[in-house]
């Protein structure tokens, strides 16, 4: 496996993949480790999670730089991601024991209650776009609940994968409790089939999610899937337009637009659409493109060359289908995997960018004439991850948000994840939840106890 800097296209480190025997040995050692870990007290688990948070904060600059070198995230965003990982460790350290405490239920028994027990080893198949956060938002609750984990990370971030294993070990967790498998996608099936693997979680594409779910289903193993998104960003006629535009830039351009919960379909009321597009165009054209390690850079590269190819195809095909180019639309004449911040206006059903997920810095403007039409367009999607509504009328915003078919909706704020709130989608965006109380419950045996 290779670490390739998307800013330069140069390989800066290579890693040896694990073979079949090594994979089996790692899983076997992790299973043995779990047998004792599941008996460890909540207090000790919490202490180790606190240690992990401290390690993350101590090594923040080094870890952030590695992230930026491997997948191109702006350095300041990388440092923010490491801080968020520390936050989720602290959160479950502080609240996990209470979440997993026995719950007394009155019944015909002298005593009846629900207890929450770990399942075993959970396989995590994780993506490259938030290479630390996606792992820690799973690992913190899973470890707190008494599970073990093996990680199959994206092939372009092997350095991040190995760094996460080292963080867990340095925090004081048993050495084999959390292990990284340096394997290809073709080897995932055999890992899921291993009888020592209890469950699997995946964040990634629809195709990858469907594949993992089918294999896990064959072996009767629990899965949680967080897949693609085409999140609506709905701007009503009474919105604070300046704030909506300012937030739209962040919501679309964070991580160069490479996020499942990035705002992707900008559904704007016709009577404010011209002003919204004009202001958004001006804001995007001011952004400075360059090396993500430099503090003044606001637009970095995409993570891989094939991602640039796909964005270029989606834009080109949509223009041929009748979309109007407002700004951007091409690769800049610089080294690296870059694509210009782009606005496509007058997007309608049938165009590629209307229905497909755009994983890059492309804004699609869909003009609507009414609130009812805005809701219909928002729900006219195979995806259902997140979204937001912009209006000064909070009651109206809440009413609309309730009618949008997603796992989360925000009124006057951009879609984001928070350790305190459950996160996940519906439809082709997946199923199950991460984070919050609901997230820690995904990989436990919810066990009824009845005593007479």
Those residues with Cβ within 8 angstroms of residue 335's Cβ, 6 or more apart along the chain or in another chain: 7, 8, 9
Q: Is 226 a catalytic residue?
A: yes
Which of 226, 340, 371, 434 is catalytic? The answer is: 226
Yes or no: say if 393 and 341 are a contact pair by the CB < 8 Å rule.
no
Q: Is 260 a catalytic residue?
A: yes
What is the distance between the alpha carbons of residues 169 and 218, in angstroms, rounded to a whole number? Answer: 33
Which of 160, 260, 310, 434 is catalytic? The answer is: 260
Query: How far is residue 29 from each of residues 13, 154, 355, measured CA to CA in Å?
Result: 27, 23, 45
What is the distance between the alpha carbons of residues 1 and 353, in angstroms, rounded to a whole number? Answer: 32
Query: How is 221-281 classified by DSSP, letter by letter?
Result: -EEEEE----EEEEE-TTS-HHHHHHHHHHHHHGGGG--TTSEEEEEEEHHHHHHHHHHHH
Dihedral, CA of residue 87, residue 420, residue 434 and residue 205, to nearest 10: -70
- Which residue in the block uniquely carries the two structure tokens 């704020």? 413
Three-state SS for 342?
A: strand
Query: How is 112-151 classified by DSSP, letter by letter?
Result: EEEEEEE-SEEEEE--SSSTTHHHHHHHHHHHHTT-EEEE
Query: How is 376-445 classified by DSSP, letter by letter?
Result: HHHHSSSEES--EEE-S-HHHHHHHHHHS-SS--EESS-----TTS-B--EETTEES-BSHHHHHTTTEE
In angstroms, the first-to-last Cα distance of the chain is: 58
Residues acting as catalytic residues:
226, 260
């Amino acid at each position: 496996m290779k670490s390739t800097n998307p800013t330069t296209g140069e390989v800066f480190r290579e890693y040896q993949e694990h073979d079949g025997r090594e994979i089996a040995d790692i899983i076997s050692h992790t299973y043995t480790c779990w047998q004792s870990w599941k008996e460890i007290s909540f207090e000790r688990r919490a202490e180790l999670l606190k240690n992990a948070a401290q390690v993350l904060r101590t090594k923040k600059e080094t870890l952030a730089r590695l992230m930026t070198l491997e997948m191109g995230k702006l350095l300041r965003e990388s440092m923010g991601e490491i801080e968020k990982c520390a936050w989720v460790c602290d959160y479950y350290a502080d609240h996990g024991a209470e979440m997993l405490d026995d719950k007394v239920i009155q019944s015909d028994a002298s005593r009846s209650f629900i207890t929450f027990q770990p399942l075993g080893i959970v396989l995590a198949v994780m993506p490259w776009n938030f290479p630390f956060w996606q792992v820690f938002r799973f690992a913190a609750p899973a470890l707190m609940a008494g599970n073990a984990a093996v990680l199959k990370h994206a092939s372009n971030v092997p350095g991040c994968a190995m760094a996460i294993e080292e963080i867990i070990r340095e925090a004081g967790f048993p050495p084999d409790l959390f292990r990284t498998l340096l394997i290809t996608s073709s080897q995932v099936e055999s890992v899921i089939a291993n009888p020592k693997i209890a469950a699997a979680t995946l964040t990634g594409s629809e195709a990858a999610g469907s594949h993992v779910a089918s294999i896990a289903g064959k072996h009767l193993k629990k899965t949680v899937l967080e897949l693609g998104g085409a999140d609506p960003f709905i701007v009503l006629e009474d919105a604070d337009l300046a704030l909506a535009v300012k937030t739209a830039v962040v919501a679309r351009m964070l991580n160069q637009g490479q996020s499942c919960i990035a705002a992707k379909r900008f559904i704007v009321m016709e009577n404010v659409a011209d002003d919204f597009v004009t202001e958004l165009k001006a804001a995007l054209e001011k952004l400075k493109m360059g090396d993500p390690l430099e503090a003044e850079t606001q637009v970095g590269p995409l993570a891989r060359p094939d991602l640039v190819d796909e964005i270029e195809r989606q834009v080109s095909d949509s223009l041929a289908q009748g979309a109007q180019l407002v700004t951007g639309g091409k690769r800049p004449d610089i080294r690296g995997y870059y694509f210009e911040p782009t606005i496509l206006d007058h997007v309608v059903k049938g165009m590629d960018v209307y229905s497909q997920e755009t994983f890059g810095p492309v804004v699609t403007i869909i003009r609507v004439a009414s609130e009812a039409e805005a809701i219909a367009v928002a729900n006219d999607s195979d995806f259902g991850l997140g979204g937001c509504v912009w209006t000064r009328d909070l009651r109206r915003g809440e009413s609309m948000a309730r009618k949008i078919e997603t796992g989360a909706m925000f009124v006057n704020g951009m879609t984001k994840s928070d350790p305190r709130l459950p996160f996940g989608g519906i439809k082709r965006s997946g199923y199950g939840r991460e984070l919050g109380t609901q997230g820690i419950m995904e990989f436990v045996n919810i066990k009824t106890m009845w005593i007479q």
